[in-house]
Amino acid sequence: MSPSTEDTFSRVLNLYRPYGPIYKPGEKAPFSGTYICDRGTMLPPVRVQPTKGDPFPETEGVGVHTRWHETNIQG
């Protein structure tokens, strides 16, 4: 039996957890900075620069499954 979508996302997210927290759409940015969403191998990553307290948006093509993580890359 194949794993459910949530199981797959959970497994993938666990691979990235050692590198820092991951944020979902609607969650508030803990501080101002640059965050990145890797949309897969065929699409370029998306960057946002929210200020502290701004909610994270959904990314086109990923929707509610968007996941944001911190980066030191400046946009």
Give the tens place of pLDDT for each residue, 46-62: 889 999 999 999 988 78
Is the Cβ–Cβ distance between 74 and 34 less than 8 Å? yes
With cut-offs at 50, 70 and 90, classify the pLDDT of residue 17: low
Counting the structural domains of the chain, the total is: 1
Domain boundaries, position 14: 5-71
* Structure-model confidence comparison of residues 26 and 45, the more confident one: 26
Distance CA 51, CA 39 (A): 22
Predicted structure pTM score: 0.66
Mean of the per-residue pLDDT values of the chain: 83
- Residue 50 is predicted with a pLDDT of 93
